[in-house]
Amino acid sequence: MTGLSKADQTSLIDVAQALADLARPETLRFFRNALATDNKAGPGSFDPVTEADRAAEAAMRDHLAKVRPNDGILGEEFGSLAGTSGLTWVLDPIDGTRGYISGTPTWGVLISVADTSGPLFGIIDQPYIGERFCGGFGRADVTGPQGGRPLKTHAPRALSDAIVLSTFPEVGTAVERAGFHSVASQAKLTRYGMDCYGYALVASGQVDLVIEAGLQPYDVHAPIAVVTAAGGIVTDWRGGPAHHGGRIIAAANPQVHAEALAILGQVDG
């Protein structure tokens, strides 16, 4: 949505921060405690959802109903709600539920506000560590145990010197997995299991690439906003818009993006 005033932007940032503040205690009160876990997938697969996922999204939706009733909502757990303002809040109450139920601290709460062109502002919040990565409307910053600082992606370096992240070694289909490993085999270091925290590490200049497949819009909207605001680039594997999900590459800079994309662009099927 073009034409948002500075006051409008500030108001949206304040709402996003309030949503993150509401989701934090809902996720923390269940983390590393006994909690009910359901499997959203069919037999032979595992796609977990917990009471923490539902509680966090419900808290955020309740707040939006009070302060932004005309906006749309797209959430992982409770689906879509149409709005009339031209803005949609995209919510993933716990990105990385598998990590969450395993007790690892690399899950996060994803919050963004978008128009039809894609995300405008986003937050990657890690409640247990106490880190919050924000990007959009002219800001890119992180606050956490070490205080606050601007976000800036890593300077260009060759793929052979790069660090590559992905959540799952399988990386989607067999064809997609082969494409990913074609890139990873040329990198200096490859690590797995980061979920949304990997995108925060791109934005903060720690790593060069996150490459994934099979993602949903609520998985990528906030990371797109944060990484882009920090100076990075996020596209699909053909170099097109990424906010609809699918095959995603988040890169620290256009140079390493182009080098990886030249390999991923050969993936068919």
What does 96-118 look like in DSSP terms, one character per residue? -HHHHHHT-S--EEEEEEEETTE
Residue 45 confidence class, pLDDT cut points 50, 70, 90: low
Residue 256 inside a domain? The answer is: yes
Q: 32 lies in a domain?
A: yes
The tally of domains found in the chain comes to 2
The parent domain of residue 194 ranges over 159-264
Does residue 202 form part of some domain?
yes
What's the CATH code of the domain at 31? 3.30.540.10
Same domain membership, residue 120 and residue 25: yes
- Is there a single domain that holds both residue 166 and residue 43? no
Please tell me whether residues 11 and 132 are part of one structural domain: yes
Q: Are residues 64 and 124 in the same domain?
A: yes
Average pLDDT, integer, range 144-157: 97
132 and 163 share one domain: no
pLDDT score, position 267:
81
Instruction: From residue 151, give the alpha-carbon distance in Å to each of 89, 125, 136.
Output: 23, 14, 11
Co-location of 22 and 123 in the same domain: yes
In terms of domains, do 122 and 183 share one? Answer: no
Whether residue 42 is contained in a domain is answered as yes
Mark which of 145, 167, 183 sits at the end of a domain: 145
Whether residue 104 lies inside any domain: the answer is yes
| In a domain? residue 150 | no
Residue with tokens 């990590």: 99
Name the domain boundary from 115, 145, 175: 145
Counts of helices then strands in the chain (DSSP H, E)? 7, 15
**Residue 86 and residue 116: Cα distance in Å, rounded?**
8
Residue 204 near residue 230, CB atoms below 8 Å? yes
DSSP 153: P
Mean pLDDT of 2-8: 89
The residue to which tokens 């010197």 are assigned:
161
The sign of the torsion formed by the CA atoms of 121, 227, 205, 232 equals: negative
pLDDT band for 47, please (50, 70, 90 cuts). Answer: confident
Indicate the pLDDT class of residue 44, thresholds 50, 70 and 90: low
Choose one of 110, 145, 180: the last residue of a domain.
Answer: 145
Q: Are residues 38 and 136 in the same domain?
A: yes
Question: Is residue 81, in this structure, part of any structural domain at all?
Answer: yes
Tell whether 22 and 135 lie within a shared domain.
yes
Identify whether residues 194 and 98 lie together within a single domain: no
Residues 194, 125 share a domain:
no
What is the model's pTM?
0.94
Strand ranges (E), 100-166: 108-115, 118-126, 131-136, 139-144, 147-150, 163-166
Give, in order, the Cα–Cα distances in Å from 39 to each of 48, 79, 100, 108, 146: 5, 17, 14, 19, 37
Which domain CATH number covers 170? 3.40.190.80
192 and 135, same structural domain? no
Laid out side by side, the sheet with 139-144 consists of 79-81, 72-75, 88-95, 108-115, 118-126, 131-136, 139-144, 147-150
Q: What type of residue is 216?
A: Q
What pLDDT score was predicted for residue 129?
Answer: 97
- Answer yes or no: is 269 within a domain: no
Q: What pLDDT, in 10s, does the model give residues 206-252?
A: 999 999 999 999 999 999 999 999 999 999 999 999 999 999 999 99
Q: How confident is the model at residue 41 (pLDDT cuts 50, 70, 90)?
A: low
